[in-house]
């Protein structure tokens, strides 16, 4: 009995730990979005603020990237949904001997590293452009075009899988029935098969857009001179991190959550409707009661209220008293630093008297804090590119100095020198 109970607790503990692992990082990152500290962190907590969202909105590069990402996402949807649909329909009709080959080739792009897809797309269209004698300003060298094509290569495989799953539930007899009733093949396709596939078209479009939106590995090669949200993010994150990125993550998580809730609501509506229909068929219900509109669902209203309340609280709490709080924190920090400096001076004096000169390194934590307070004055977005901030934000791994120094001599051939190797892992652009 005890062993069984223990086992049960162990299982539950494991599940809880798993979900902590899954959500912990996102939650921590979410919290850092509301801390005034220029380095995204949860503790020590400085002041509650919503200012990082403003910083986010005013980031021109990010916004350009976002616009490109949306445009590319729509382009990928326009390309990958019809291709995936056609791919699935062809699979259903392919001859048994060909089918496994066809399936393997079409599914392969999912497994092929994104890097490889990006490179091959880039090279292929480069050659096509060259063969057609097109210039560098032609579409074949356009980052947006290349990215759409490159992403659609594997996203079409995703959409195809969605269509296959849906088609497997399609009764081909329905198409025959339509033909038998005099429909042409096109009519049977449009009036019977397409309506059946409609939900799959919807989910394929959503999936294609999301997959495109978050893609990095392929995009980084195909985007050439242009940028997307992910490439901008990646370069920002690699050069140093600041809480406006956390703010972006919070925004995305909230949008995802809202989407998940909406999806769940619509699923439940569908299930309820089917149940009612069956009841009608069995004669238990006289007729279908009219369903209330989606926006009148209690679950929807509840979640909308929660989102609005949350946003309101964040907005008010984030604007009221931030400056006062910041001033207090600053004063506290300065006092602390003063204290530490004094203590260090005392220590140094003590050490000097003990004639142990320079044996001990200054406490790194203190140095950081000092720099942070210095950087506070120039706080704001541009500030993160200031060298002292860069150092501070990237932590204290000690490589930063080398990084800054090595910047000028960067080059491919150089990577085999060990010290450069280190450098490029952090800052290749």
Q: Measured from the CB atom, is 195 or 380 closer to another protein?
A: 195
Residues with Cβ within 8 Å of 52's Cβ and at least 6 positions away in sequence, in order, are 33, 34, 242, 243, 244, 246, 247
Task: Name which position in 65, 75, 114, 318 contacts another protein (CB under 8 A).
Answer: 114
Q: Measured from the CB atom, is 277 or 356 closer to another protein?
A: 277
Q: Work out whether 421 is an interface residue with another protein (CB under 8 A).
A: yes
Candidate segments 47-55, 59-67, 118-126, 323-331, binder of another protein by CB under 8 A: 118-126
Q: Measured from the CB atom, is 131 or 357 closer to another protein?
A: 131
Binding mask 278-297 for another protein (x = CB under 8 A): x-xxxx---xx---------
Q: Work out whether 72 is an interface residue with another protein (CB under 8 A).
A: no
Q: Work out whether 381 is an interface residue with another protein (CB under 8 A).
A: no
Q: Measured from the CB atom, is 41 or 344 closer to another protein?
A: 41
Task: Name which position in 95, 135, 298, 358 contacts another protein (CB under 8 A).
Answer: 95
- Which residues ranging from 9 to 68 are in contact with another protein (CB under 8 A)? 11, 14-15, 18-19, 21-26, 28-29, 32, 39-43
Half-sphere exposure of 264 (CA within 13 A, CB side): 10
Tokens of 60: 């021109």
Task: Name which position in 3, 104, 357, 361 contacts another protein (CB under 8 A).
Answer: 104
Task: Name which position in 45, 48, 71, 189 contacts another protein (CB under 8 A).
Answer: 189
Q: Measured from the CB atom, is 41 or 330 closer to another protein?
A: 41
Q: Work out whether 138 is an interface residue with another protein (CB under 8 A).
A: no
Task: Name which position in 45, 71, 196, 300 contacts another protein (CB under 8 A).
Answer: 196
Task: Determine the size of the site formed for another protein (CB under 8 A).
Answer: 129
Report the distance separating Cα 225 and Cα 246, nearest Å.
26
Candidate segments 48-56, 236-244, 300-308, 381-389, binder of another protein by CB under 8 A: 236-244
What's the chain look like in SS3? CHHHHHHHHHHHHHHHHHHHHHHHHHHHHHHHCCECCCCCCCCCCCCECCHHHHHHHCCHHHHHHHHHHHHHHHHHHHHHHHHHHHHHHHHHHCCCCCHHHHHHHHHHHHHCCHHHHHHHHHHHHHHHHHHCCCCCCCHHHCHHHHHHHHHHHHHHHHHHHHHHHHHCCCCHHHHHHHHHCCCCHHHHHHHHHHHHHHHHHHHHHHHHHHHHHHCCCCHHHHCCCCCCHHHHHHHHHHHCCCHHHHHHHHHHHHHHHHHHHHHHHHHHHHHHHHHHHHHHHCCCCCCCCCCCCHHHCHHHHHHHHHHHHHHHHHHHHHHCCHHHHHHHHHHHHHHHHHHHHHHHHHHHHHHHHHCCCCCCCCCHHHHHHHHHHHHHCCCCCHHHHCHHHHHHHCCCCCCHHHHHHHHHHCCCHHHHCHHHHHHHHHHCC
Neighbours of 331 (CB within 10 A): 10
Q: Measured from the CB atom, is 383 or 426 closer to another protein?
A: 426
Q: Measured from the CB atom, is 127 or 352 closer to another protein?
A: 127
Q: Work out whether 300 is an interface residue with another protein (CB under 8 A).
A: no
Task: Name which position in 6, 105, 305, 327 contacts another protein (CB under 8 A).
Answer: 105
Q: How far is the CB of 348 from another protein (least distance, A)?
A: 20
- Which residues ranging from 355 to 374 are in contact with another protein (CB under 8 A)? 368
Are 81 and 151 within 8 A, CB to CB?
Answer: no
- Which residues ranging from 323 to 362 are in contact with another protein (CB under 8 A)? none
Q: How far is the CB of 316 from another protein (least distance, A)?
A: 26
- Which residues ranging from 146 to 165 are in contact with another protein (CB under 8 A)? 149, 152-153, 156
Candidate segments 58-66, 105-113, 298-306, 309-317, binder of another protein by CB under 8 A: 105-113
Task: Name which position in 90, 262, 322, 404 contacts another protein (CB under 8 A).
Answer: 90
């Amino acid at each position: 009995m005890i062993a069984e109970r223990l086992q049960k607790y162990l299982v539950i503990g494991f599940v809880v730990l798993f979900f902590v692992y899954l959500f912990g990082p996102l939650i921590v990152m979410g919290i850092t979005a509301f801390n005034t500290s220029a380095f995204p962190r949860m503790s020590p907590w400085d002041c509650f603020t919503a200012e990082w969202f403003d910083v986010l909105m005013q980031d021109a590069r990010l916004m350009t990237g976002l616009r490109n990402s949306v445009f590319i996402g729509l382009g990928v949807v326009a390309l990958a949904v019809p291709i995936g649909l056609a791919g699935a329909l062809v699979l259903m009709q392919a001859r048994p001997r060909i089918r496994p080959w066809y399936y393997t080739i079409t599914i392969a792009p999912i497994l092929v590293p994104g890097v490889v897809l990006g490179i091959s797309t880039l090279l292929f269209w480069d050659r096509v452009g060259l063969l057609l004698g097109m210039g560098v300003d032609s579409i074949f060298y356009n980052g947006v075009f290349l990215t759409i094509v490159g992403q659609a290569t594997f996203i079409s495989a995703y959409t195809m899988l969605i269509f296959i799953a849906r088609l497997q539930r399609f009764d081909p007899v329905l198409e025959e029935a339509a033909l038998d009733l005099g429909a042409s093949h096109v009519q049977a396709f449009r009036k019977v098969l397409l309506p059946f596939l409609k939900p799959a078209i919807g989910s394929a479009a959503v999936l294609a857009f999301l997959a495109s939106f978050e893609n990095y590995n392929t995009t980084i090669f195909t985007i050439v001179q242009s940028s997307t949200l992910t490439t901008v993010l990646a370069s920002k994150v690699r050069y140093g991190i600041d809480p406006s990125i956390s703010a972006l993550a919070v925004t995305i998580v909230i949008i995802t959550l809202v989407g998940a809730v909406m999806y769940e609501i619509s699923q439940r509506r569908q299930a309820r409707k089917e149940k009612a229909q069956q009841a009608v068929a069995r004669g238990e219900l006289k007729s279908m009661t009219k369903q209330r509109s989606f926006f009148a669902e209690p679950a929807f209203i509840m979640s909308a209220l929660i989102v609005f309340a949350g946003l309101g609280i964040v907005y008010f709490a984030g604007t009221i008293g931030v400056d006062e709080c910041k001033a207090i924190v600053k004063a506290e920090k300065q006092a602390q630093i003063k204290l530490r400096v004094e203590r260090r001076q005392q220590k140094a004096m003590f050490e000097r008297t003990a004639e142990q000169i320079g044996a001990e390194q200054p406490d790194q934590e203190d140095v950081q804090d000092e720099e942070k307070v210095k950087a506070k004055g120039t706080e704001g977005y541009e500030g993160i590119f200031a060298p002292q901030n860069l150092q501070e934000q990237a932590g204290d791994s000690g490589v930063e100095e080398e990084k800054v120094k090595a910047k000028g001599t960067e080059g491919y051939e150089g990577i085999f020198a060990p010290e450069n190797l280190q450098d490029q892992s952090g800052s290749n652009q």
